[in-house]
Amino acid sequence: MSTVVQSGALDALEGALQAERQALLDNDVVALLASTEAKVRALRQAEAAPPDLSVADRIAALRILNQANSVLLSRRRREVDWALRHMGRTESTGTYGANGYTGTRAQARQLAVV
């Protein structure tokens, strides 16, 4: 893969990771979905051929950015789970049943007494 094509793929990946980070910070679901799609496209383009060793530092920096986004995504997931639990909504147990689907546990909670 030429350095120009590699650079373009890495530029696209960096842009997608930055957009993903901003979407996570802004709680923007539509932007998050779009950035995830862009990230997958950029990854496919970057993985089409082995990278040169000259871009190893840049790839390491992109990995760190992706891990930081993962931390933000985990935090958002915990916030959503907490909110759903306090609203009495169903939440996933994190385990799979015999049918291959995640189990759910219903939690009833009164939000007000009438």
Q: According to the model, what pLDDT value does residue 1 have?
A: 46
pLDDT beneath 50, residues of the chain: 1
Q: According to the model, what pLDDT value does residue 20 have?
A: 96
Q: Nearest-CA neighbor of 5 among 47, 36, 58, 61?
A: 47
- Residues 86-108 have pLDDT tens digits of 887 765 555 666 666 665 555 55
CA dihedral sign of residues 67, 68, 69, 74 = positive
Q: According to the model, what pLDDT value does residue 75 have?
A: 92
Residue 42 CA: distances (Å) to CA of 8, 26, 101 = 9, 22, 30
> What residue spans define the domains of the chain?
3-93
